Amino acid sequence: MRKSASAFAAALTASIFVQPASAQETDSEPTAEEMIEAAREAYRPPGLMRRCPVGEPGEIVVCATDPDAYRVESSTDQAIRTGEPVADRVPRAPDVFGIPPCKSQTVCIKGGWVPPQVHLIDLSAIPVPLTEEEAAMVFRAEDGPPPEPQSLAAP
């Protein structure tokens, strides 16, 4: 047990003295511009393409910028897009989302109604309820004269 503890202490001491020496051996730390460029590369959006590197004389640079730039639409895609029959004679499902708009030339059946208007109420304008004493003092004109106020003092 004592041997392993002393070996551990020796290794720990040696590692303390070795680390500063290895830190001094590095040439230079990266500049702020290099760190910013590394951060931009690490945290760029996933769909954003990297810029093509600049080629040197006599060097061939292969870089893909837009995969659909040189795509040619097939005759089948073009026929489906324009609504014409396709030459391959394969039946296609009808385009139900291409229903013509409701105009004077077409019959248009509409259903439903406009929902009722929403009434907004200002709850801060509602008065505070009266206490029992205040409610006893309130009377309606149809009920006759107001009641006599009762004295709160004992006779």
Q: What is the pTM of this model?
A: 0.20
Give the Å distances, CA to CA, from 111 to 51, 60, 101, 115, 117.
54, 65, 15, 12, 19
CA atoms within 13 A on the CB side of 110: 7
Q: State the amino acid at position 37 in one-letter form.
A: E
pLDDT in tens, 46-104: 777 677 777 788 888 777 666 677 778 888 888 888 878 887 777 777 767 776 667 66
> In which band, very low, low, confident or very high, does the pLDDT at 31 lie, cut at 50, 70 and 90?
very high
Tokens of 117: 């208007």
Q: State the amino acid at position 52 in one-letter form.
A: C
Residues 6+ positions from 106 with CB-CB distance below 8 Å? 100
